[in-house]
Amino acid sequence: MLTIVAAVLATLVLLAVVVVIARSRKRNDMHSVLNAPAEAIRPVPTDPLGKVIHALRSRRWLRWSLSGASLGMVVVAIGLLGYPFYTNLYQARVQQRLDRELVSPELEQAYRAGAVETGDALTRIKMDTIGVDVVVVEGTTMSALRAGAGHYPQTPLPCEPGNVAIAGHRTTYGKPFHNLDLLKPGDPIVLETPIGSCTYKVTRTMIVLPTDTYVVDPTPTPTLTLTTCHPKGSARQRLVVQAELQGEAVAA
């Protein structure tokens, strides 16, 4: 969505510049042929676009205003296009650190003790069906989710009994859940933790409101719940994918 808006803004600015240049050249050609003072013989245009051009030529402040607005639109367009690129680079650097942290003895000890702090590596999630392989951190704060995906701290640890819930970005910070809607029932989801791994299989996908927090409530069977924004580029709704654990649950 951000990319589309930026492209539209840039196109509008470009079209405005082209129209002004084209009109200016046309008028200059006519003036050269007539060899007469421009303002003395130039008729007042009757078409809407011509009136706009005439107003711009006769009012310097209006031309400056248009130039300032055009520059502002270009800056906004560049910002909208550049922001996702920046967040993806940032997330890639964070993931490099988390890759090393996930296999460290210190994290294994903290994991077993249930003392993993917000922002620290917690588990690796793999969804081969949609090409996802990313380290999930503990916590769903804004700073924690800059890693791409975060574990809801009020839910069980991966592979444990209950409803393990993970939130992920869909359009920024590496967008690990960008294609979450492509998962189908039966698709495998693997979680790798510092003390082992487990596999879940997708059971259902649904669209809910941001206020529908029941999706991360405890469940009687070992469940994995993935949440992300919906539609892409909007936080109006939430896309939720749920999966069931295959095999026995394992506690830390």
Distance in angstroms (rounded) separating the CA atoms of residues 4 and 218: 39
How many helices (H) and strands (E) the chain has is answered by 5, 8
How far is the C-alpha of 70 from the C-alpha of 9, rounded, in Å?
A: 9
Strands 188-193 and 196-208: antiparallel
Give dist(CA 209, CA 219) in Å, integer. Answer: 20
> What are the backbone angles phi and psi of residue 136, rounded to the nearest 5°?
-95, 135
Yes or no: say if 122 and 192 are a contact pair by the CB < 8 Å rule.
no
Q: Please, are residues 193 and 250 in contact by the beta-carbon 8 Å criterion?
A: no
Report whether 182 contacts 129 (CB < 8 A): yes
Residue 175 region by backbone torsions, left for phi larger than 0, else alpha for psi between -120 and 50, else beta = left
Length reported for the chain = 252
Per-residue CA distances from 122 to 14, 39, 101, 153, 159 (Å): 48, 73, 9, 11, 12
- Predicted structure pTM score: 0.72
> What contacts 16, CB < 8 A, 6 or more positions away?
66, 70
| Local confidence pLDDT in tens for the 252 residues of the chain | 444 544 554 555 455 544 444 455 555 555 444 454 544 445 666 677 666 666 667 777 766 666 676 666 665 555 556 678 889 999 999 999 999 999 999 999 999 999 999 999 999 999 999 999 999 999 999 999 999 999 999 999 999 999 999 999 999 999 999 999 999 999 999 999 999 999 999 999 999 999 999 999 999 999 999 999 999 989 999 999 999 999 987 766
Q: Kindly provide the b/e burial profile for residues 176-199, where b requires at least 16 CB atoms within 10 angstroms of the residue's own CB.
A: bbbebbebeeebebbbbbbeeebe
